[in-house]
Chain A
Amino acid sequence: MRKLSTVLLAGLVVTAGAGAALAADKTEISVSRFFGACEADYGSVTDVTKANGECGIITALINKFNAESTTTTVKPEIVEWPGYDQLTARIRSGEPPVISVMHEAVISDYSSRGLLEPLDEDFAKAGIDVNDMTDAARQGVTKDGKIYAMPFDTHTWLWHINLNLFKQAGLVDEAGKPILPKSTDELFAQAAQFKEKTGKPYFISTLANETAFYTRTFDTLLYQQNADFFADPNKVNFSSPEAKGALQLLADIYSKDLTTKNQDYAASVSSFAAGDGGVFICGTWLIDTYDQEAKKDGALANGYAVTAFPQIYPGSPRVWADGHSWVLLKQDLSDAQRASAIEFMKFLWDNNYEWSRTGHLPIRKSIIDSDQFKNLPHRADIASLAVNGTALPSAVKRQFSIQDIEGEEVGSAMRGDKSVDQALTDAETRINELLANAK
């Protein structure tokens, strides 16, 4: 009996030792990302099809990779969105992560200083066909003729709609589709009708502690009027009648109480789910979350719709867009680390469909054209975004700082803290000052 126990114990020790040795043999790479933390819900989920939402899907994807890879362990490092202050500090102190998520709008700031590794050769060796990238994705990650990132998605600005409240407001057609404005006059008329019938504001907006809503909505309204406000990438032009009209529109929406006020991102996201308003202007990443919400009892039950930002100016249906991507930070990496980093990027490339379930547009033509993608909920309603999504010209430097300044000034005018003219002048002055001193 004692011998048997000894043998079993020895077997256990050997098995545990072998397991530890195997784990130790795997190369660990750090991956810095935002998208939130949801270990409590998805910490052990490796079946990605069972995950929902940005956080759930990326967590499950990394879990799956770690479970399947025999050579690499990805150690996720979760940062607060957008995370560039932290990334900058880590690069400056010589301790960057191996891989980081990065908006395509900011890649050129880092690549132009030699802080990112070009990836063309690695992608070719790994069998990643860059010709399968969508035009938007490929343009987004290509700087000075080289590919500096693995694109992950294209995301844009759209309208999430509470159909139940729209029905109550009489803003649904015979086919059950929401009736949307085609001009600014229609917008105010429908918003007033909605408020009168439901007692709730037409819009839910993220107006507190964040500038993204202001910038992305304002840019969209400018694109719709064909205003080329960055004709010169070193100088912004907000002194056009189009800019004044767009900002006055936002200020009127606020002053006429057609939107919720003082809500930060978290509050506005849950406010829409709770049925506090008809339209939530936000991004593609919430489609899956709200679609799941519509399957439950609640304010959105069987009553969620989503649409591209309606064209309310007679110029163009274009809308603000950007993309998430994964970059390899320049540092002294061993061959094994670099190989592991490319292995993880290849895994993300192969699983891009799973990420597109969030609501983001995929970055592979083969996935966009697939029935699997087309059959996802609401994708037909936003198909036009693949064509109409518009980013700032890549030659414009410091795009995130510009978005912050623009958002601050647009917000000041929208809330009535300063006049429309003053806000446009201040935005133009501050951005041009920034660009004049940007290398």
Chain B
Amino acid sequence: MTDVTLSPGKATAAVKRPTGASIGPRWSNALFVAPYLAFYLALLVYPLFKGIWMSMLQSDMFDDTSKFAGLANYYRLFNDKVFIGSVWNTIWFVVMTVPAFVAIGLLLALALNRSDRTSATLRAIFFGTSVLSVTIVTIIWKMMYMPGNGAIAGIMRFFGMEPLAFTTTASLALPAIAITTVWWIIGLPMMLFLAALQQIPGELYEAAALDNASRWRSFWSITMPSIRRTLLVVVIYEIVAQFQLFGQALLLTQGGPNNASRPIVLFIYEQGFRSWNLGYAAAASEILFIIMAVAALAQFFASRKRVEE
């Protein structure tokens, strides 16, 4: 330890830079974040800008002679009925699924927020579907939806009803995919809500009980404010995730019938891998990116404003 003497007149000369914890930037510390930063730049930032650049090119999958097309791909997209349809399909799908994830996930979490064996088993069962691959999930639901020998058709016939053709009827195809998706991954929001519920101190509920607060009142005044941040995480995560609907639509309906269930990612896939039109597919990807960013940010700011109020 350096002994510093601050005598008058010699103070300036005597003061030395303290050792130990340094003050000011120490660039060698950047090494700690360098690996992450390198991957972040290579795998996220670079592809983002490369994608923006590609969206302004007229290029195909195997052609190295791409030419600059400016905003032509975007102009073409906004005049493409199939793309516009896929945008509305995707938004409608998000509107159907995100509230369902929040409501059903929260209900399941509230119902299973107990330490008995039955609740633990049910938690495992509800989360169990999340580990299945999209292929397995769609095979299961194809068997459910088949109008001839499907399980739902059998139930409907038992009650004397005419079976519905879920995947081949324009008005039912997207809701059918939404039901499949909610069944598939309801486990994650349920677990997130459960984790949040278990953080709420029991004393709060005891105090509320002493004040004769109803269960409904406790839910609104204790539970909901306590899990507010988790709610925000679930909503934003699900918005971002469900805008990227792809596998279920590809395997269950292939976007049909009559474009009724084609999401944006399926449109991008078809343009890129089937029509080999990479520039056009990249432009559609950028539109999807903007829509997702706007939706997630809007939800974030709306929730933050409510919290501040």
Contacts and interface: CB of A to CB of B under 8 A. Distances in A.
A401 B146 CA distance: 27
Nearest to B59: A439
Interface string B241-275: 00000000000111111111000000001100111
Nearest to A407: B256
A436 to B, nearest CB: 10
Contact of A262 (B148, B254, B277): B148
Interface string B61-95: 11100000000000010001110000000000000
A89 B273 contact: yes
B168 A262 contact: yes
B275 A398 contact: yes
B110 interface: no
A437 interface: yes
Interface stretch (A43-51, A132-140, A408-416): A408-416
B16 to A, nearest CB: 59
Contact of B148 (A85, A267, A430, A438): A267
Interface string A393-418: 00000101100100010011001011
Interface string B139-154: 0001000111000000
B273 A261 contact: no
A417 B269 CA distance: 24
Contact of A92 (B62, B257, B269): B62
Interface in A245-302: 261-264, 267, 271
Nearest to B252: A209
Nearest to A402: B275
B60 A411 contact: no
Greatest chain A CB density within 10 A among B61, B81, B147, B275 is at: B275
Contacts of A417: 170, 257-258, 260
A299 B46 CA distance: 61
A15 interface: no
Nearest to A114: B62
Interface in A74-99: 84-85, 88-89, 91-92
Interface in B93-119: none
A187 interface: no
Q: Give the contact-size bracket for chain A.
A: 35 or more
B165 interface: yes
B55 interface: no
Contacts of A208: 165, 167-168
Interface string A185-213: 00000000000000000000001111100
Nearest to A267: B148
A339 interface: no
A437 B148 contact: no
A283 to B, nearest CB: 20
B256 A411 contact: yes
A398 B256 CA distance: 20
A3 interface: no
B277 to A, nearest CB: 6
A120 interface: no
A242 to B, nearest CB: 23
Interface residues of B, number: 34
B146 A91 contact: no
Contact of A207 (B142, B168, B254): B168
A411 B274 contact: no
A261 B168 contact: yes
A408 B276 CA distance: 19
A401 B275 contact: yes
A264 B251 CA distance: 12
Contacts of A262: 146-148, 165, 167-168
A411 B276 contact: no
Greatest chain A CB density within 10 A among B58, B254, B258 is at: B258
A207 B169 CA distance: 11
Contacts of B270: 401, 404
Contact of B82 (A89, A264, A430, A437): A430
A434 interface: yes
B280 interface: yes
Given A85-B274, A426-B81, A267 B146 contact: yes
B258 A412 contact: yes
Nearest to B62: A113
Given A262-B165, A417-B170, A437 B280 contact: yes
Interface in B267-297: 269-270, 273-277, 280
A85 B256 CA distance: 18
A261 B165 contact: yes
Nearest to A85: B273
Interface in B160-214: 165, 167-168, 170
A261 B162 CA distance: 14
Contacts of B269: 85
B112 to A, nearest CB: 36
Contacts of A437: 58, 76, 275, 277, 280
A404 B148 contact: no
Given A411-B257, A434-B275, A91 B62 contact: yes
B14 to A, nearest CB: 66
Interface in A170-228: 207-211
Cβ-closest 6 pairs across A and B:
A417-B258, A412-B258, A262-B165, A113-B62, A85-B273, A262-B168
14 contacts: A88-B276, A92-B62, A113-B63, A208-B165, A209-B253, A261-B147, A262-B146, A262-B167, A398-B275, A401-B274, A415-B258, A417-B257, A437-B277, A438-B275
Interface of A: 84-85, 88-89, 91-92, 109, 113, 115, 207-211, 261-264, 267, 271, 398, 400-401, 404, 408, 411-412, 415, 417-418, 426, 430, 433-434, 437-439
Given A408-B258, A439-B63, 8 more contacts: A85-B269, A207-B168, A267-B148, A415-B168, A417-B257, A437-B275, A437-B277, A437-B280
Interface of B: 58, 60-63, 76, 80-82, 142, 146-148, 165, 167-168, 170, 252-260, 269-270, 273-277, 280
